[in-house]
Structure 1
Amino acid sequence: MLKGFYTAASGMIAQQRKQETLSNNLANANTPGFKADQGSLRAFPEMLMQQMGSKTLPTKQGTTLPIRNPIGALNTGVYMQETTPSFTQGDTRETGMSTDMALINGNMPDEDGGLFFTVQNEAGELRYTRNGNFTVDSEGFLTTKQGNYVLDQNNEPVQTLGMEFQVDKEGVLQANGQAIPLGISYTPDVYQMIKEGEALYRMNEGDEGQPPVNARNTAGVSFTTEQGFLEGSNVDPTQTMTEMMNSYRIYETNQKVLKAYDQSMDKAVNEIGVVR
């Protein structure tokens, strides 16, 4: 009975974590460049149930043989194994702001390849983002809304000295008579990238894959940039709400099973063993 109790409880915990993931997706439905997380549920190892008994043979010594009849497998519950972002391209919308840029995927030689803007976090480390909602700080540097420097292809901060600049479709920024190619990074496997918060990604340090490289120097990679546009979130609010309701129903079902086990255990402890 206790095994069933824990199985139902694990189902509730897994659905609770799935709800948290879906709620975060819904909260970021209007965040530029946000990639929806998808939760993966996995079952705990199953247990093989057997009926154990014995059979006495009609011999002079009365030989007894053990008997084991397989009953079937018993599932011991589920858990949320991981959450992985979906890197599908979001819809683009026009903003008219010169500091807004949308990165549009073109041809990529790898099935799981992905493109990112290259930025620098507060610690001076390389980070990557799909959120092109940029601005210009007081020193004239192009930054993210959180103040992280946007980098060029040489991993140097991009200085525009104002809002008046142009970015062509190849991602080359024209400002103060200079042509500055923006840092567009390419990774052959986007699932090596880990969300770090504030729309930033970093390379998984425990992964043996190669870090993102300059997309312009990678054969077979193409992209376009649209100034005055933003890539929207790829969250589908309708589908997310449907998944949330389905997850809640599963949670509620496990809750009822848990309550039934609790009532059965209460009877077993307080009624079955009572001496009348």
Structure 2
Amino acid sequence: MMRSLWTAASGMIGQQFNIDTISNNLSNVNTTGFKQNRPDFEDLLYQTTRTAGTPATEETLVPVGVQVGHGARVAATQKIFTQGSLQNTGNVSDVAIEGEGFFRVLTYDGTYGYTRDGAFKIDSNGQLVTSNGYRVMPEVVMPEGFIRESISISQDGRINVRLPGQDDPVEVGQLELYRFVNPAGLQAVGENLFKVSSASGDPIAGQPGFDGMGKTIHKFLEMSNVETVKEMVNMITAQRAYEFNSKAIQTSDTMLGIAANLKR
């Protein structure tokens, strides 16, 4: 069988994966704190029929070899952790990260998750939690009878509230941020959460605004960093590449048909 059939097929499989990735990016264009995915491709093995540098005569060498490739495959999918735009929500429990870092939350199985989604809530116990009920770590618990609209979060993560009958606010907690040597190595697990992996390295804790950490911006949320125009252009490119590979398969099939119909 012709090698081009399998080579072009590998290209179609790769472009299908590319479209799947683009679709996921576009579907999360309004997901708070979402970071776009980028697929990376690599070429497959080459068949060498003549090696460069092979002696041609006693005094000369072959300047270039003869190689033919076998297509492409997906090498990796990478999260692009560029800053998303900040949106003013006016909600007193919303907080965005401007710069590097993640919030840490405690999941139901007792492990830690890391997120850029600062759409926090205050539960019936006065505790700061995520939309899925995961507790923000270190724990932040509002005092009984606090005035909700008096909540303020400074750029260095200090949380203050005012109590009835008091004019001066009271500090009730401190937000911490965590960064990683290789954030692209974090494992995305859904629910806007990431988990630590051996590739990401251990989390490095710090106070917002210090030691390379980003600042916490109160009453704002970080939106997705997906650029819709760029994703649409990538989709068109992937679609055309898929078509080109399908044309290569059709051409190979036509050539096989011509060979099969040869007569003496």
Amino acid at match of 2:67: A
* Counterpart selection for 1:264 from 244, 255, 258: 255
Change in CA separation of 1:179 and 1:136 when aligned onto 2, cut-off 3 Å: closer
Distance 1:135 1:15 in 2: 40
1:147 aligns with 2:133: yes
Does the residue aligned with 1:115 lie in a helix, a strand or coil? coil
Tell me if structure 1 keeps the 8 A contact 2:48–2:66. Answer: yes
Tell me if structure 1 keeps the 8 A contact 2:141–2:172. Answer: no
Distance 1:28 1:134 in 2: 19
1:15-164 to structure 2, matched below 5 A, reads 15-50=15-50, 72-105=66-99, 114-152=100-138, 157-160=139-142, 163-164=148-149
Change in CA separation of 1:142 and 1:264 when aligned onto 2, cut-off 3 Å: same
1:173 aligns with 2:159: yes
Tell me if structure 2 keeps the 8 A contact 1:116–1:186. Answer: yes
What TM-score do the two structures reach when normalised by structure 2? 0.84
Does the residue aligned with 1:83 lie in a helix, a strand or coil? strand
Amino acid at match of 1:189: N
- Counterpart in 2 of 1:60? none
What TM-score do the two structures reach when normalised by structure 1? 0.80
* Deviation per residue, 1:220-247 (Å, 9 max, x gap): 3243111110111111100110010011
Does the residue aligned with 2:195 lie in a helix, a strand or coil? strand
Distance 1:135 1:216 in 2: 21
* Counterpart selection for 2:178 from 172, 176, 185: 185
* Deviation per residue, 1:113-151 (Å, 9 max, x gap): x41011112212111001111112233222211222111
Aligned-pair Cα RMSD in Å? 2.5
- Counterpart in 2 of 1:61? none
Gapped runs of 5+ residues in structure 2?
52-61, 164-169
Distance 2:257 2:85 in 1: 55
Tell me if structure 2 keeps the 8 A contact 1:30–1:233. Answer: yes
Distance 1:166 1:219 in 2: 19
Distance 1:85 1:232 in 2: 15
Distance 1:195 1:251 in 2: 28
1:189-228 to structure 2, matched below 5 A, reads 189-205=182-198, 207=199, 210-216=201-207, 220-228=211-219
Change in CA separation of 1:71 and 1:103 when aligned onto 2, cut-off 3 Å: closer
Change in CA separation of 1:71 and 1:221 when aligned onto 2, cut-off 3 Å: closer
Distance 1:71 1:226 in 2: 59
Does the residue aligned with 2:102 lie in a helix, a strand or coil? strand
Tell me if structure 2 keeps the 8 A contact 1:194–1:202. Answer: yes
Distance 1:183 1:252 in 2: 49
Amino acid at match of 2:239: Y
* Counterpart selection for 1:239 from 216, 219, 230: 230
Tell me if structure 2 keeps the 8 A contact 1:49–1:70. Answer: no
* Deviation per residue, 1:72-104 (Å, 9 max, x gap): 210100011111011111111100011111011
Change in CA separation of 1:71 and 1:213 when aligned onto 2, cut-off 3 Å: closer
Gapped runs of 5+ residues in structure 1?
52-67, 106-113
1:69 is displaced (CA, Å) by: 11
1:219 is displaced (CA, Å) by: 7.2
1:202 is displaced (CA, Å) by: 1.2
Amino acid at match of 1:200: L
Distance 2:174 2:85 in 1: 24
Tell me if structure 2 keeps the 8 A contact 1:50–1:69. Answer: no
